[in-house]
Amino acid sequence: MKSHSSRESERKEIIRQQKLITKHEKTIEKQKQIIARQLQALADSENALKVKDQLYLEATKVIDGLLKLLTTLIELRDPYTKGHSVRVMEISLLLARHPNLESHLRENLVVFGYACLLHDIGKIVIPDYILNKPVLLTEAERLMIQQHTELGFKLVEPLDLNPIIGEVILNHHENFDGTGYPARLKGKEIPLTARIVRIADVFDALTSDRPYRKAYSLEQALSIMEKQKSQFDPELYKIFLSLVRENKILPPAPA
Ligand SMILES: [Fe+2]
């Protein structure tokens, strides 16, 4: 039979354990509340992410729509260049993505594509009679049309867009041998983006109808480009020729 003192110590032990259990229960309750708050925060942030994704999607749609609108506006001003901006973008992206080209551009292909679409945006402010003149331009008219690079750059400069867009618009008529415009930059002074667009732009211009002449055939265009190849970045020109040989770059289909 247990003594009085032993029962007393058992009772104390039970009370102590009960207190411990109560304490653990409180801790568990607190932990539950913390977990519930964390779950709520997670749900809130997931909702925030969903809203962000939705906004991003909407913004992308707006940008794509505006780009199509701008491209159409450029082509409306200069109907002979119908489809030109898109073809320049396609050829330029083929060059930019080529495995033989070591470049940072692969991480910026979307922006580079936008830049290609907008490269001639400065033509919006060039008078129609010059853009559509059915005979060769006078020297003064040629100088006026050359201003489309700087005028286009001034149009996008205040918008604080990715710098790739401005550099393509401003420099896409610079030649590797320093004979281009507006700044007569030479070699690698010209941004890679603009050196790529230069080749795509020349090829598409030669193989398209112009107000003052019919389109050249692929062979004629390649022969003209070969004669003026000092204007092109030699590494890019080599890649361009290999893409033509592989039939990845083709002249535009006749309208
Ligand atoms: Fe141009």
88 CB contacts (<8 Å, ≥6 apart)?
116, 119, 197, 200, 201, 204
**How far does residue 42's CA lie from ligand 1's centre (Å)?**
50
CA of 108 to the centre of ligand 1 (A): 21
> For residue 170, how far is its CA from the centre of ligand 1 (angstroms)?
9
Q: How far is the CA of 96 from the centre of ligand 1 (A)?
A: 19
The stretches in the chain having pLDDT less than 50 are none
> Token pair of 105, please?
């551009």
Cis amide bond preceding 252, omega within 30:
no
pTM over 0.85: no
In the reported structure, the alpha carbon of residue 168 is separated from the centroid of ligand 1 by a whole-number distance in angstroms of: 10
Q: Give pLDDT, residue 219.
A: 96
Q: According to the model, what pLDDT value does residue 13 have?
A: 81
Dist. CA 22 → ligand 1 center (Å): 80
Distance 201 CA to ligand 1 centre (A): 7
Expressed in angstroms and rounded, the spacing between residue 197 Cα and the centre of ligand 1 is 9
CA distance 13 to 8: 9
What's residue 8's pLDDT?
85
Q: Tell me, what's the pLDDT at 148?
A: 95
- Ligand 1 centre distance from Cα of residue 149 (Å): 7
| pLDDT given for residue 1 in this prediction | 56
From the CA of 205, how far away is ligand 1's center (Å)? 10
Structure tokens at 218: 């692929």
Query: Contacts by 45-53 with C-beta closer than 8 Å and gap 24+?
Result: none
What pLDDT is recorded for position 255? 66
Cβ-proximal residues to 60 (8 Å cutoff; 6+ apart), any chain: none
Cα 147 to ligand 1 centre (Å): 9
For position 247, what pLDDT does the model report? 95
Q: Does residue 210 sit in helix, strand or coil? A: strand
Cα 180 to averaged position of ligand 1 atoms, centre (Å): 11
3-class secondary structure, 207: coil
> What pLDDT is recorded for position 2?
62
